[in-house]
Amino acid sequence: MDIEITGKHVEVTEPMERHVRQHIGRLPKYADLIQYMTVTLRMDSGNLVSEIIAKCPRADLFAEGKDHDFYKSIDEAFSKIERRLTRYHDKLVKNRAREAQKSSETEKRRT
């Protein structure tokens, strides 16, 4: 998985980058789904905003966290992206099971 951490109008410090990488390290069960992840930290009219874009095989997942503290906004954004990754993973598993059931039914009809 490729990771890009950038800042808009904000300098990304070493502790901030370490905090982001710790959160990424907590997503191991979804690491095979994510091809590329972009984390952008920026200031927006007094709020500190963390945006995460996770590029997956058939979808781009987006999450945003806003707070007056970058670490809290990063935490919020990663909790949102984890929920969205869980839903996306469950959807893929459900679709694979449905496709397998259809193929087995088709196979039974042929015999």
Q: Which residues span the domain enclosing 14? A: 2-110
CA distance linking residue 99 with residue 74, whole number of Å: 37
Q: What is the CATH number of the domain that holds 79?
A: 3.30.160.100
Residue 53 has pLDDT above 70, yes or no: yes
pTM check: above 0.85: no
> Taking residues 21-39, what's their average pLDDT?
86
Q: Tokens representing 69?
A: 């503290």
Residue 37 has pLDDT above 90, yes or no: yes
**Which of 15-19, 35-39, 60-64, 94-98 has the weakest average pLDDT?**
94-98
Residue 25 has pLDDT above 70, yes or no: yes
Other CB atoms within a 10 A radius of the CB of residue 74 amount to 22
Q: What's the structural domain count of the chain?
A: 1
